[in-house]
Amino acid sequence: MDGERRMRNEEILAVKNLAAGYGSRHILKDISFSVGQGEMIGLIGANGAGKSTLLKTLRGILPLLEGKILLKGRDIYALPARKFAREVAYLQQHVEVAFGYTAREIVMAGRYPYLRWWERENAADEEIVDACMEYAGVSELAGQTMYAISGGQRQRVLLAKVLAQQTPILFLDEPATGLDVFYQEEIFRFCRELCAAGKTVLMVVHELSLAARFCSRLLLVGQGHILADGTADKVLTAENLTQAYATDVQVVKNPLTGHTEVFTMPEKSDRRKDRLLGIILDGTLSAGTAANQAELRKYGSA
Amino acid sequence: MKHKRYQSGFFLVIMVIVFFAVSLLSLSWGQIDIPFMHVLAAFAHELGLPILANVTVTPEQQAVLWHIRMPRTIVGLMVGAGLGASGAVMQGIFSNPLADPGIIGVSSGAAVGAVLAIALGLSEISMFYMPVFAFLGSLLAVTLTVSLAMRHGKIPVMTLLLSGVVVGMLLGAVTAAILTVINEQKLQQYLFWTIGGLDYRRWEHVFLGIGPILGGIGIMLLMARHLNILVLGDIEARAVGMPVGTYRLFLLAVASMTTATGVCISGNIGFVGLVVPHMMRMLVGPDHRQLLPASVLAGGAFLVFCDTVGRIIVPPLEVRVGIMTAFLGTPYFLYLLRRTRRLER
């Protein structure tokens, strides 16, 4: 199915033998993949595996150490900054907004790549900004300062800003992390809607179950490489995940919902751990509590 | 949103009125009192307007007005406006409300230049040596700070702040070293310069500073929309297609040059560059398209107002404007800080 999809859709982004990292330290090596229009790709992997590094490198924010990144066949480093920003929008992980900018002022920043340096935003820009805010469900926050709004709303304002850039491609670095489950699902649904409309989304995701449900394709990043690439069924296997997360992982298909769910396996009884816990509990770890620990472990494995 | 626009437009109109009212006050008040009507009449006569013809301006009033108060007021407006705009730009570049041009070494560089001019006895030869030395000192200090912070063609904000602090300390030490070897009279002269003032400013000072200051303000006003993006931070600005390094360096240069010019014609005047933009941000919001013009007008009006009050508060003495800015600015600033909601987290 994965192969079919790529045949059907036009290739919009191609990564060839990419190496990336900080300074001379390579975190990612020899990464190659291509992205077709309309795909919703989830970048998954353990903390520190290099998912964000990959996304930043693709956006040209971190230097490309080796290889090539082609956007619609053109090297991204040959693209002028403003033109690149009209092709790819990027939502970073933590956005700190200094001073009391209002939500609308932030969304308006998305129009920057369309203006020559002396131009001001015109009525068309205003209209686009209003439409994006309405689509993201944050119209009523327009005049509020970014300090005054909650995490979930804030993330939707930032999504509206990314949409105001009117780019065919969106790079989103953990757009849903730290939000309530409902907000999380909403953001994923939102992205799927955009992909159905023809946009291409590449997003870093932590919640594997959500990634499995909503993304059309997953890239599993680990050990400096892409360990697996394809649909959720293909990528989210116990074998792949155990390798990527360096811990025993179990993958279960929930018969009720039909969704893939991922669990870590509990560690086996560990004398060293018990001893450390004893120190933490100031030597009060009695036989009784040890029994409780054993009990807890059992529940963990359910 | 429309409501807000109207408000800030309205606010700017008020600022313009305040700007001119304060100028009129500054021209009128002082040891020799010149009533408002006479000030206006003097202008009308000079411009050949057929109004206020019945008001006679005495030659003494005329002389005080043209040779003392006019240049003094214009220098005040100019320097204040320049400091206000540069302060707003610096706070934008650093995304930090505590930044001012002093933070990258403008004032410490100017101090070294001034003290050198004094120590070498040049300041007694011509009044132009000290401003020129102060100007060169500032530019040198800023160049040093920026080149220390520059890595692979980028200027990380944190590194820039730190190198500004380091350069400031180094130049402070140089100034202190020179001060320890010069005589008391020169020491007095330096002290006088450190506390900026507008007394004895002549038309020469106006002509010396007007080009760079007005030019600098003009450029900064033109770049207002870009500052709004730059404030969002490095990555955010690059993500919407801004060549961050180029813009940051350019704005840094313009703001430094404007401040350095101000410092060189009126000495070191603290507080205006820091507090005026901050006050204006609380009143009109952070959009630089409103913030910058507001800071320009408020900076000029505030400095001239401080100077005027300093002139009449303890006659026949004058309190230098550098002292007055701190005395008058602090209470108002504290009041705003407590009242405002816009900066609250």
Please write down the HEC assignment for all residues of A39-52. CEEEEECCCCCCHH
| Alpha carbon of A300: minimum distance to chain B alpha carbons (Å) | 40
Q: How far apart are CA A199 and CA A76, in angstroms?
A: 19
Report CB contact under 8 Å: A98, B96. yes
Of B222, B241, B345, the CB nearest to A81: B241
**Of the partner residues A91, A99, A113, the one whose CB lies closest to the CB of residue B286:** A99
> For A188, phi and psi rounded to 5 degrees?
-65, -40
What sign does the dihedral A224-A228-A233-A237 (CA atoms) show?
A: negative
Nearest-CA distance B55 → chain A (Å): 47
Residue A3 pLDDT: 46
Contact residues on chain A for B222, CB-CB shorter than 8 A: 118
Which residue ranges of chain B lie beneath pLDDT 50? 1-6, 343-345
Separation CA A211–CA A43 (nearest Å) = 9
Q: Where are the alpha helices (DSSP H) in chain B?
A: 2-28, 36-47, 59-63, 70-93, 106-119, 122-125, 129-149, 157-181, 184-194, 203-222, 224-230, 234-239, 244-266, 272-284, 288-312, 321-339
Which of B236, B250, B295 has the highest number of chain A CBs within 10 A, making it the mutation to test binding with A?
A: B236
Nearest residue, CB atoms, A89 vs list B4, B239, B285: B239
Give the span between the Cα atoms of A78 and A75, in whole angstroms.
5
Q: Are B201 and B321 in contact (CB under 8 A)?
A: no
Q: Each residue of B48-71: pLDDT tens digit?
A: 877 777 788 888 888 889 999 999
Q: Do B235 and A61 touch (CB under 8 A)?
A: yes
Per-domain residue ranges for chain A?
Answer: 2-248, 271-300
The answer to whether B239 contacts A92, with C-beta atoms less than 8 Å apart, is yes
Contacts of A129 in chain B (CB under 8 A): none
B2-339: CATH topology is ABC transporter involved in vitamin B12 uptake, BtuC (1.10.3470)
Query: DSSP E strands: which ranges in chain A?
Result: 11-22, 25-36, 40-44, 64-71, 74-75, 88-91, 169-173, 200-204, 217-222, 225-230, 249-253, 260-264
Contacts of A96 in chain B (CB under 8 A): 95, 233
Please tell me the predicted confidence (pLDDT) of residue B210: 92
Minimal C-alpha gap between A59 and chain B (Å): 8
Q: How far apart are CA B33 and CA B85, in angstroms?
A: 32
Candidates A211, A191, A190; CA nearest to A43 is: A211
pLDDT of the residue at A301: 47
d(CA B298, CA A179): 43
* Phi then psi dihedrals of residue A68, to 5 deg: -140, 145
Task: Parse chain B into domains and list their residue ranges.
Answer: 2-339
What residues in chain A have per-residue pLDDT under 50?
Answer: 1-7, 301-302
Q: CATH 3.40.50.300: does it fit domain A2-248?
A: yes
Contact A134, A125 (CB under 8 A): no
- Contact list, A91 vs chain B (CB under 8 Å): 239
Cα angle B77-B81-B86, degrees, rounded to a multiple of 5: 155
Written as six digits, the tokens of A41 are 């790709």
CA-closest candidate to residue B72, choices B211, B198, B192, B212: B198
pLDDT of residue A290: 59
Distance from CA of B153 to the nearest CA of A (A): 13
Cα nearest neighbour of B95 on chain A = A98
CA distance B343 to chain A (A): 6
B285: chain A residues, CB-CB within 8 Å:
100, 102
Token pair of B29, please?
A: 């008040």
DSSP B326-343: HHHHHHHHHHHHHH--TT
**Both tokens of residue A20?**
């990336």
Quick one: tokens of A39? 């795909």
Contact A99 B95 (CB under 8 A): yes
Contact A105 B287 (CB under 8 A): yes
Per-residue confidence (pLDDT) for residue B223, from 0 to 100: 94
User: What residue in B sits closest to A140 (Cα-Cα)?
Assistant: B1
- Chain B residue at shortest CA distance from A81: B241
Q: Do B236 and A83 touch (CB under 8 A)?
A: no
Contact criterion met (CB < 8 Å) for A98 and B233: yes
Spatial strand order of the sheet with A225-230 comes to: A88-91, A169-173, A200-204, A40-44, A217-222, A225-230
DSSP A34-95: EEETT-EEEEE-STTSSHHHHHHHHTTSSPEEEEEEEETTEEGGGS-HHHHHHHEEEE-S--
Distance CA B113, CA B260 (A): 11
Interface test with A, best of B4, B89, B240 (most A CBs within 10 A): B240
Helix (H, G, I), strand (E, B) or coil at B345: coil
Chain A residues closer than 8 Å to B87 by CB = none
Taking CB atoms and an 8 Å limit, are B95 and A143 in contact across chains?
no
Residue indicated by tokens 């059907």 = A8
Question: Closest-CA residue in chain A for B226?
Answer: A117
Which chain A residues have a beta carbon less than 8 Å from that of B342?
A: 100, 145
Residue A9, classified by CB atoms within 10 Å of its CB into exposed (0-12), middle (13-18) or buried (19+), is middle
What integer pLDDT is reported at residue A105 of this predicted model? 93
Quote the CA–CA distance of B286 and A108 in Å, as a whole number: 14
Please list, in sequence order, all residues whose beta carbon lies within 8 angstroms of the beta carbon of residue B104, skipping any fewer than 6 positions away.
B90, B141, B142, B145, B146, B160, B164, B167, B252, B256
A/B interface, count of CB pairs below 8 Å: 80
Q: What is the pLDDT of residue A205?
A: 92
Q: What is the pLDDT of residues B128-164, one digit of tens each?
A: 788 888 889 988 998 999 889 887 767 787 888 889 9
- For residue B37, the SS3 value is helix
Of A81, A83, A99, the CB nearest to B281: A99
- Residues with Cβ within 8 Å of residue B142, at least 6 apart in sequence: B104, B105, B106, B109, B252, B253, B256, B260
Q: For an interface test with B, give the residue of A53, A90, A112 to mutate (most B CBs within 10 A).
A: A112
Contact state of A99 with B242 under an 8 Å Cβ cutoff: no
Distance CA B340, CA A38 (A): 46
Contact A159, A120 (CB under 8 A): no
- From the list A99, A117, A165, the residue facing B231 with the nearest CB is A99
